Structure 1
Amino acid sequence: MASDLKNLSVFSTDELPDVSHHRFAILVSEWNTEVTEALFDGAYKTLLEHGAKPENVIRGNVPGSYELTLASQWFAQRDDIDAIIALGCVIQGETKHNDYINHAVAQGLTNVSLKTGKPVIFGVLTPNDQQQAIDRAGGKHGNKGDEAAITAIKMIGLQQQVYSKF
């Protein structure tokens, strides 16, 4: 569903797993910092609201969204990290750079997740303009950071379900 029809900060929190003992890495692009800082704030607060401990949330900064892939791989290779949340914002410009970057990042994060078996969450905004980005980073459409954090929590829960012995 298009985010202009849905608030990114409204989601089901039924049956969320206990994440108090899980460790999260939140990777934040420094490009479009006004937006990515708001995404980080949303993700961090949502993790804490749902049981993550502050000392179990590690932040890593990368220069731009393209670098989220390699940084995600580095964190996913750590035994003490359970999920990675990659946050960025690539705004459509006058060239097609956003198409190449967004595709590379989406594919790269998917590959890291499949390679490591850990949830790597795509929290990258792909708006047409700055206002759309602001609207999705705590504005009228909610915060993609909130949604990314809940997705990480739910994926940890699903992973526990899949690998638990009945």
Structure 2
Amino acid sequence: MTVTRQAGTRRLARRWTLLLGLVALGTLLPPPTVTGTAGTTVPTIKDETFVTARTSGILHIEAGECFTDPAYSGEAAEVVVLYTPCHERAANQAYGFVHAPDGEWDPAALSAFAWQGCRRGFDSHWSGESASGLNFYPVLPTRETWAGGDRDVMCVVYSPGGPMDGSALPMAS
């Protein structure tokens, strides 16, 4: 019995080591790209479909926290985002939430509301030079989470050029 417990503990330790290694490797890799015409590469487009409330891990992210781009996890057997300390060159940072009004599920209206609400937050945090090199996207509730009462849209800032060096949020004065 002791041998089984030790073997199980070693397997678990190896899995955690592998998972942490993959996370560390992901922070060192260049930003995700897609091959375009004539072999050119274009950055991944981060829009309202890039991450949704259905993406595992996203509902654990709070305003001000950073996280990885979504990636398939063999361990979880699904696409996930992981919390990442902002000082570890994070790919994304939640900068706030806007609450959508109640009503029927309307994806087009929700998308328009989310972009407008997140734009206001982005413009209030980053204007002029401080916005240089940054962009944003909303994370929307899905039909299923909407049916369960989810009305919160997460607003996320990122750098199209790759991971950010520390928190993108301006220091409070």
* Higher RCO (CA 8 Å, separation ≥ 6 residues): 1
Q: Please give the range of the TM-score, normalised by the shorter of the 2 chains.
A: under 0.3
Larger Rg: 2
